[in-house]
Amino acid sequence: MKSLSEIETVSKRSSRASGFSWGIAEEVGKNIRILEMFGIAGIKNLNYYFKMRSEKKFEDLILIGKDNKISKLEICPIIAGLSFLDQIKPLEKLSEIKFEKIAFPLLFLPFVSRASEIVGKKLQLEIDKKIFLLNYNNSIYSNSLNNGVIEVGNNILIKFIENNDSFNKNEWKEIYKLSEETFVEENENLKINSAGAGLTDND
């Protein structure tokens, strides 16, 4: 089994060899590491993407808006992902962002995962009917974690999920009240274990 370090290094070098700058290649290496770490077919999709890139052109989407459509070509997932990551702060003000026809959208996914960490919010990414929940770049939950290649995401939607507690006020009040039972015990322990307590004066 290949290590994550090997995966990142080879992904970076192959990206440079395919024509990307070293700076972009480094970002790709990080992303493929993320995909493989979470059990998503990063190497497989990157390999197919490079093969297709030598045969056809993809559109470089630089400026991201609320609705992103390209008339003819499919969108390059790497350039679109970098643009999304670079513009995430102003894009955070939008509740939803739509894309049409992103090539190999699983290569776009880790950029969204990293953006989740930057804005401190969970992001939901829908690739057609496949849903991915991205948690601050720490985990990815999905209803479709397959090991296949997705050549095109026809309809892609990103939703910004507001940070809310998973419990109500009453549940918090009840469990906090239970936690208060330890307060007296901790205070007594502090008194007993405070500096000099219980020591014999040998002077």
In a 13 Å sphere around the CA of 168, the CA atoms on its Cβ side amount to 1
Contact residues for 182 (Cβ-Cβ < 8 A; gap 6+):
none
Residue 202: predicted pLDDT? 54
pLDDT in tens, 36-54: 999 999 999 999 999 999 8
pLDDT in tens, 121-130: 999 999 998 9
Token digits of residue 48: 């197919």
| Residue 151, burial from CB neighbour count under 10 angstroms (0-12, 13-18, 19+) | middle
CA distances for 156 relative to 63, 83, 124, angstroms: 16, 16, 10
CA distances for 190 relative to 6, 183, 185, 200, angstroms: 50, 11, 9, 18
> Given CA atoms 53, 59, 61, 62 in this order, what sign does their dihedral have?
positive
Sequence spans of domains, the chain: 4-161
Which pTM value belongs to this model? 0.84
Q: DSSP letters along 81-101, please?
A: HHHHHHTHHHHTTSSEEEEEE
